[in-house]
């Protein structure tokens, strides 16, 4: 029989986002307002003030309720690590409201929720990783296809002004500095040096 405390965890990515939907979901499960911890921070990692406070407060027999797995976090490797810390080290349970299989509370005498939840988490982690790999591959293929069609990436190159050739010759003869030449051309000194290097390479070929 459960004797621990039920806690709720809520996360929104920015201070402008509204957490009401998550609070309503937790209220429907009887989570008391003073037992709900709210972070307004990205889910990229678990370095969140209220989350850390909740974990520190957690004891054996307690349960953390969260509306969805992405409110818990977005990095599945870290989610699994935190999940195991909560269930194995702390002896507490986790319940994800919109995914009933992610409920570590014991279901019957033979099979614990922890086993099923761990399995589901591993599957979700695998799917997320494959999706990431697929997106990277698709992006690389898209860039390669665009390059094959002549699409240029990065900043457009500056058109060299007509007076560049004259200033280049003056610069090579030491009669003007690169900074002064760049100023006359209305470009950055770095750009002038780059153009000069390209012209020098062409001349010496």
Domain ranges (residues) in the chain: 6-129, 164-204
Check residues 128 and 2 and name the one with the higher pLDDT.
128
CB atoms within 10 A of CB 125: 15
* Residue 1 confidence class, pLDDT cut points 50, 70, 90: very low
Catalytic residue flag (residue 197): no
Structure tokens at 183: 């100023």
- The pLDDT of residue 72 is 85
Check residues 144 and 191 and name the one with the higher pLDDT.
191
How crowded is the C-beta side of 162, counted as CA atoms within 13 Å?
0
- Percent of the chain residues topping a pLDDT of 90: 29
Average pLDDT of the segment spanning 1-20: 85
Q: Name which of 3-17, 24-38, 95-109, 145-159 the model is least confident about.
A: 145-159
Helices (H) then strands (E): counts for the chain: 8, 4
Residue 204 reports pLDDT greater than 50: no
- Percent of the chain residues topping a pLDDT of 70: 85
Please report the DSSP string for 93-114 in residue order: EEEETT-TTSB-S--SSS--HH
Please write the tens of the pLDDT for every residue from 64-78.
Answer: 999 988 888 888 888
Choosing from 13, 42, 68, 125, the catalytic residue is 13
- The pLDDT of residue 35 is 96
- The pLDDT of residue 195 is 87
- CATH superfamily of the 6-129 domain: Resolvase, N-terminal catalytic domain (3.40.50.1390)
Structure tokens at 26: 């937790």
Please write the tens of the pLDDT for every residue from 93-142.
Answer: 999 998 888 888 876 554 556 677 778 878 877 776 776 676 777 777 77
- The pLDDT of residue 153 is 62
Average pLDDT score, the chain: 83
Q: Name which of 35-44, 136-145, 177-186 the model is least confident about.
A: 136-145
Which of 140, 4, 22 has the alpha carbon at shortest distance from 70?
Answer: 22
């Amino acid at each position: 029989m459960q004797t621990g405390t039920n806690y709720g965890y809520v996360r929104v990515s920015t201070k402008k986002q509204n957490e009401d939907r998550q609070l309503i979901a937790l209220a429907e499960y009887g989570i008391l307002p003073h037992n709900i911890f709210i972070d307004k921070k990205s889910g990229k990692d678990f370095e969140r003030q209220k989350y850390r406070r909740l974990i520190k407060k957690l004891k054996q027999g307690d349960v953390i309720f969260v509306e969805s797995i992405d409110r818990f976090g977005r990095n599945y490797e870290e989610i699994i690590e935190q999940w195991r810390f909560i269930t194995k080290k702390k002896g507490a349970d986790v319940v994800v409201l919109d995914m009933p299989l992610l409920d570590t509370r014991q279901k019957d005498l033979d099979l614990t929720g922890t086993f099923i939840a761990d399995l589901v988490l591993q599957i979700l982690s695998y799917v997320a990783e494959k999706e990431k790999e697929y997106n990277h591959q698709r992006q690389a293929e898209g860039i390669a296809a665009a390059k094959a069609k002549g699409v240029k990436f990065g900043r457009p190159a500056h058109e060299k002004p007509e007076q560049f050739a004259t200033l280049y010759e003056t610069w090579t003869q030491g009669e003007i500095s690169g900074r002064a030449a760049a100023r006359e051309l209305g470009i950055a000194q770095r750009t002038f040096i780059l153009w000069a290097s390209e012209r020098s390479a062409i001349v010496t070929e």
